Amino acid sequence: MKHVVIIGNGISGVTTARHVRKMSDQKITIISDETDYFFSRTALMYVYMGHMPFKNTQPYENWFWEKNRINLIKNRVEKIDTDSKKLLLKNGEEITYDKLVLATGSKPNKFGWKGQDLDGVSGMYSKQDLDAIEKYTKNIKRAVIVGGGLIGIELAEMLISREIPVTFLVRETSFWNNVLPKQDSQLITNHVKSHHVDLKLDTELREIIPDENGRVKAVLTSKGETIDCQFVGLTAGVSPNIDFVRDSKIECNRGILINRHLETNIPDVYAIGDCAEQENAIGRRRPIEQVWYTGRMMGETLAQTLCGNRRQYNPGHWFNSAKFFDIEYQTYGWVTARIQEDEQDYYWESSCGQKAIHLVFDKNDKSFVGINTFGIRLRHEMFDRWLNEKKSIEHVLEYLKDANFDPEFYKQHEEEIINGFNQKFNANIQPKKKSWKRIFTTF
Amino acid sequence: MKIIKKLGLTLFIIGLVIFTSLIFIGKYELTESTFDSYVKSRGFKSELFIDDIQKNVVGKTYSNQFELSSDITSALENANETYKKEQQWDKVIWDKPHSLSYSLIKPSAKGIVVDNQGLFFFLTFGLGIIGALMFIIPDVVLLGPPGIKNNGIYQSKATNRGWIGYLAFIYLVSFYILLYFYADYIVNLVYLVDPISKSLSGNAASQWFLYGFLYCTVMVVMGIRMFIKYRHNKYQVIRTASVLFFQIAFAFLIPEILVRFNMPYFDFKNAWPLDYDFFFDWNIKSLINSGTLGIFMLVWGTIFSIIIIPIVVYFYGKRWYCSWVCGCGGLAETLGDPYRQLSDKSMKAWKIERYLIHSVLVFAIIMTAMTLYTYFTGVDSLFGIKTYDLQFYYGFLIGSIFSGVIGTGFYPVMGNRVWCRFGCPLAAYMGIVQRFKSRFRITTNGGQCISCGNCSTYCEQGIDVRAYAQKGQNIVRASCVGCGVCSAVCPRGVLKLENGPEEGRIQENPTLLGNDIDLMKMLKDK
């Protein structure tokens, strides 16, 4: 019986284990020193906010692992010896593998700021980070968050939920504008401000100043301003968590280098999820994709390979989602911060300033390229199909009602959206009524 | 704003304390004429009981109702015991001791509450309502812009099985026990709503009128809380308005007004087998004897339960009843909303749920079948089991203990749908339809689930919604009452309650977990 050893019990590693078990009888071991059981990383914020107890972030009950014969080891791998196929654990134990899956995830970026390791400074990535934030934010007067990405805004929401005043240092001139187009970014920027976040744009961290006990006292910004605070959240992105891999023969760049089959340079060693880096980026995707969904997809693919059906990682159309305080965001296909030269776009925003849609399409053949949606839920399946079939922007708008996924009785905006489009592009698109038949006709 | 909130809480607690303390004040005297006319109206032949009461109770002033109740019930039990021994069956009084005692104590109450019903109504209901609203309404501002407001739920002593939760649990359970089994202890509370009852039906209030009025009041106040909490979500707002309307109009006002016009007390939206005594002979007789309207009620109740309910469940799922119309559901969705996260999501709980709720359904069907058998044939037992016994045990165990004491009393520890999830036979019946023949489902939006667990956490029915959503699978479960909160709390727009074609409703559709189609087909084939 082959022994599949997976380092990391996040979504990538656990998805691999689950699917390997579905398809085969191999021995499976997952090693992690973060937590006893798999939990949803994206849900950590809700534990702090009191929406959920930590237990509820675990998608499977504790008996699940034994029942499915997935061994869990809570320890840290210190060394990988790929010649003898052995792992050395922190407690001195050795584990032999036949196939090794590296799914070690990320760690928060620290850019060598002075004071970045003081008491009261934390990232927001792991369960340990959550515990640290819990500990450091008791009865404090102000927190400073550094870095305006998805984790930063979540951390801001967390702290605001406990009525802790937040100053948010964002390097860019508006929130997340390296990913979102200008209008979209502005919408979110306004929303963040409406939640009483002291948003300081175009501002970077210079240093973190300690008090006499080595705890955070204040930060100094690139604008020369000193802000008193008792907690600093470092959320300036994440990078692959692979320090212990670097000493091995496994080839790394920023992440562990893999080919389209998720294989590293060493036979029987694979890397998936946040820690992996594609040698050649796939389509318009980044070589390192630090997204829940891609971790899950890689896990599914790799399980096939591990069970004897060597598979290429072949992600479908790009999609992603997030929530910025009260505004939900979904994206299907490609909408980039700067609309490409051969593309055109159409942006619609509701009068309430809480809902918006940004459509991108090809300038020449009018084919639909991608959509950002804020405050309006859209049906993943419809957009995936439209992208597969290379439907035109007119088609997408005409049938937009089929794609609405908002709860019943919600106000619908399709007519407004289409009217705006017709005006801007001198078109004459008439929306079709929602049809179950179309929604359920698949492939 | 926070001051208003605190002040509101204080007023509410004062109201609650006064309400509770009314049980311990007042004087009671059973007068000769009250007793005589009651005995005459009931046609009692129990000389021992009548003598005992006349000698030892009538004319005596009691400083509390507990002693009076104890004297009456022991007189009744002693008399019955003697007659049963002597087999003088016609002299035995078959009333439940505390109901008989209630009938005698209610008119015997004297003192400050009885003399100042209006004042005490204000000091209890009035302060309670004003206080609660002062506590709730500032949330419009305090909770910030519209959106999901679940901050601090698991840090609060009230909503995470802390001491406040347990206190609420003990209070609710005690209230239900008094209401169902010791109504004679709470006559003072009944007096609070006497004027309202008289203005509606023309009769003095019973403990059930008190309960109905309290029920509506609590639902309205907590409904306002729902309107504020979910003001961004039209589904929740409309649904809450709907349950409030059906409770106040159909369950409370219309039956009372019917009584005023000498018609049978009838709740048009109540359906068998939740309305377990609908086919009891006394109900059938009373309806048949009430002219055309009574016959209509009988026919309507039957058609409603057997034909309309399943047809509408086919089109919209059982949610149309459980979270749009039903009174039990209405209380769960208003008073119970703060506790929805406490329902157990484990596989074990699901197993227990299926055994329990379907057993209750079977029990209800057997009991009703026996009842109708007895009604039509006049034979009062089958296979040695007495119809009356079945009715009694169903009423006691299911009708009172399960649906009331446990069903509502356990909100603060087991979540707000304890009765609906584990006990309600109507829910079980509709659940079977919903699971196997319905257009309703909760659609999972492709691969967007991040397994965060908000949906499962806030499912009042204890469904592990996430287990389906993370697989890209639609949720089709017998127990889903379609409250829509899973969809509301989902941070990624993954869940939508829909009524669509049956085809493809349950089928796993993970084509969109993100990988290309070939691979997913392979996974599916495995």
User: HSE of B168 in the Cβ direction (CA atoms, 13 Å)?
Assistant: 22
Pairing of strands B440-444, A327-333: unpaired
Is the pLDDT assigned to residue A306 strictly greater than 80?
Answer: yes
Pairing of strands A106-108, A70-74: unpaired
Is the pLDDT assigned to residue A316 strictly greater than 80?
Answer: yes
Helix axes B347-377, B281-288, angle to 10 degrees: 60
- Rounded Cα–Cα distance for residues B471 and B464 (Å): 12
Tokens of A23: 């398809």
State the pLDDT at residue A1: 84
Contacts of B503 in chain A (CB under 8 A): 440
- Rounded Cα–Cα distance for residues B142 and B156 (Å): 17
Q: What letter does residue B277 receive in the DSSP assignment?
A: T
Q: What is the mean pLDDT of residues A135-152?
A: 95
Q: Does A163 touch chain B (CB under 8 A)?
A: no
Residues 267-326 in A contacting B (C-alpha not used; CB under 8 Å): 292-294, 296-297, 300-301, 304, 309, 311, 314-316, 319, 321-323, 325-326
Tokens of B84: 């049963």
Q: What was the ipTM of the complex prediction? A: 0.94
Percent of chain A with pLDDT over 90: 96
State the pLDDT at residue B521: 55
Give pLDDT tens digits for A21-67. Answer: 999 999 999 999 999 999 999 999 999 999 999 999 999 999 999 99
Is residue A215 a contact partner of residue A120, using CB atoms and an 8 Å limit? Answer: yes
Contacts of B519 in chain A (CB under 8 A): 300-301, 304, 311, 314
Q: Does A224 touch chain B (CB under 8 A)?
A: no
Give the H/E segment covering residue B381: strand B381-382
pLDDT tens for each residue of chain B, 526 residues long: 899 999 999 999 999 999 999 999 888 999 999 999 999 999 999 999 999 999 999 989 999 899 999 999 999 999 999 999 999 898 999 999 999 999 999 999 988 888 889 999 999 999 999 999 999 999 999 988 899 999 999 999 999 999 999 999 999 999 999 999 999 999 999 999 999 999 998 888 999 999 999 999 999 999 999 999 999 999 999 999 999 999 999 999 999 999 888 888 899 999 999 999 999 989 998 898 888 888 999 999 999 999 999 999 999 999 999 999 999 999 999 999 999 999 999 999 999 999 999 999 999 999 999 899 889 888 888 888 888 888 999 998 998 899 989 999 999 999 999 999 999 999 999 999 999 999 999 999 989 999 999 999 999 999 999 999 998 899 999 999 999 999 999 999 999 999 988 887 876 555 445 666 555 555 555 4
H, E, C per residue of chain A: CCEEEEECCCHHHHHHHHHHHHHCCCEEEEEECCCCCCCCHHHHHHHHCCCCCHHHHCCCCCHHHHHCCEEEEECCEEEEECCCCEEEECCCCEEECCEEEECCCEEECCCCCECCCCECEECCCCHHHHHHHHHHCCCCCCEEEECCCHHHHHHHHHHHHCCCCEEEECCCCCCCCCCCCHHHHHHHHHHHHHCCCEEECCCCEEEEEECCCCEEEEEEECCCCEEECCEEEECCCEEECCHHHHCCCCCECCCEEECCCCECCCCCEEECHHHEEECCCCCCCCCCCCCHHHHHHHHHHHHHHHCCCCCCCCECCCEEEEEECCEEEEEEECCCCCCCCCEEEEEEECCCCCCEEEEEEECCCCEEEEEEEECCCECHHHHHHHHHCCCEHHHHHHCHHHHECCCCCCCCCHHHHHHHHHHHHCCCCCCCCCCHHHHHCCC
Is residue A342 a contact partner of residue A363, using CB atoms and an 8 Å limit? Answer: yes
Is residue A44 a contact partner of residue A124, using CB atoms and an 8 Å limit? Answer: yes
Q: Does the distance separating the beta carbons of A321 and B493 come in below 8 Å?
A: yes
Q: Does the distance separating the beta carbons of B235 and A408 come in below 8 Å?
A: yes
- Rounded Cα–Cα distance for residues B383 and B209 (Å): 39
Q: Does B162 touch chain A (CB under 8 A)?
A: no
With b meaning 16 or more CB within 10 Å and e meaning fewer, what string describes A54-76?
bebbbbbbeeebeeeebebbeee
Is residue B54 a contact partner of residue B216, using CB atoms and an 8 Å limit? Answer: no
Cis ω for the linkage preceding B273 (within 30 of 0): yes
Give pLDDT tens digits for A199-246. Answer: 999 999 999 999 999 999 999 999 999 999 999 999 999 999 999 999
Tokens of B221: 């106040």
- Rounded Cα–Cα distance for residues A142 and A164 (Å): 6
How close A96 comes to chain B (CA, Å)?
29
Q: Which amino acid is at A247?
A: D
The string of DSSP letters for B432-497 reads: HHHHHS-SEEEEE-TT------HHHHT-TT---HHHHHTTT--B--TT-----HHHHH-TTS-EEE
Q: Does A78 touch chain B (CB under 8 A)?
A: no
Give pLDDT tens digits for B190-219. Answer: 999 999 999 998 888 999 999 999 999 999
Tokens of B250: 């159909």
Q: Does A173 touch chain B (CB under 8 A)?
A: no
Of B144, B233, B517, the CB nearest to A407: B233
Q: Does the distance separating the beta carbons of A384 and B454 come in below 8 Å?
A: no
Which single residue is written with the structure tokens 């257009």?
B439
Q: Does B446 touch chain A (CB under 8 A)?
A: yes
| Number of residues in chain B | 526
Q: Does B516 touch chain A (CB under 8 A)?
A: yes
Tokens of A201: 């744009």
With CA atoms as reference, the chain B residue closest to A38 would be B451
Contacts of A164 in chain B (CB under 8 A): none
Contacts of B500 in chain A (CB under 8 A): 436, 439-440
Overall CATH class of domain B441-525: alpha beta
Summary mean pLDDT of chain A: 96
Q: What's the angle, vertex CA B376, arms to CA B370 and CA B377, rounded to 5? A: 85
Of B150, B232, B501, the CB nearest to A436: B501
Q: Classify residue A296 by burial, with Cβ atoms within 10 Å: 0-12, 13-18, 19+.
A: buried
Is the pLDDT assigned to residue A275 strictly greater than 60?
Answer: yes
Mutation for testing the A interface, residue in B233, B443, B519, B520 having most A CBs under 10 Å: B519
Which single residue is written with the structure tokens 């045990």?
B393
Q: Does A244 touch chain B (CB under 8 A)?
A: no
Domain spans of chain B, in order of start: 27-110, 157-440, 441-525
Give pLDDT tens digits for A370-379. Answer: 999 999 999 9
State the pLDDT at residue B512: 45
Beta strands in B277-340 (DSSP E): none
Q: Does B441 touch chain A (CB under 8 A)?
A: no
Give the H/E segment covering residue B110: strand B109-110
Q: Does the distance separating the beta carbons of A330 and B448 come in below 8 Å?
A: yes
Give pLDDT tens digits for B120-154. Answer: 999 999 999 999 999 999 999 998 889 999 999 99
